[in-house]
Structure 1
Amino acid sequence: DHIAALRHILDTEELSGPVNLTAPEPVTNREVTAAMGRVLHRPTVFTAPAPLLRLALGEFAEDVLGSQRVLPRQLLESGFSFAFPGIDDAVRAALR
């Protein structure tokens, strides 16, 4: 979806300014973990603990842990269609 969105941005002259490259349905870390469990048919009892993410990711951990409900408004309004709008489909595609 990100590559298709970038191509759409380059091909759509009406788009200007910042364009959010985010999923149309924002999800939490817990929801991503649960989706991975469903797709892989494995139990997901725990999500990655915040201290572990901070240790592994450094400053980037705050971007992962923080609440960022950003929507791709310009993409959607310009007619872009996501191939994987839901988290389960996106995880399934990413794990192929």
Structure 2
Amino acid sequence: MIHDSLANLTQYAPILESFDRIQEVLASSHEEGSYQIGTLSVTVESYVPTAFSGIFRAHDSAATLVVMLQGEELFGLTYSERCKGVAKDDAG
């Protein structure tokens, strides 16, 4: 997961496969919903943050970029090394 300021987004270009598409998506407005834009899976949603469930997710080959347009949210993060050797559950 990338959790940073949009001002620093260009620093992640070397590790984000579809960086040019990310900038394109952020430059346009989209209705709420899920979109497939090239290799990007984009979800646009409004929501009220809820309490942490205690479940962390990890992706083997994907990066999650969260862009907060309004409001704030507190993220809980862990290191992937702590998950090595742990079997994945049904949610990954």
Fold conserved between structures, TM > 0.5: no
The structure with the largest alpha-carbon Rg is: 1
Greater RCO structure (CA 8 Å; 6+ sep): 1
Which structure has greater helix proportion? Answer: 1
TM-score computed with the length of structure 1 as normaliser: 0.26
Q: TM-score, normalised to structure 2's length?
A: 0.27
More strand by share: 2
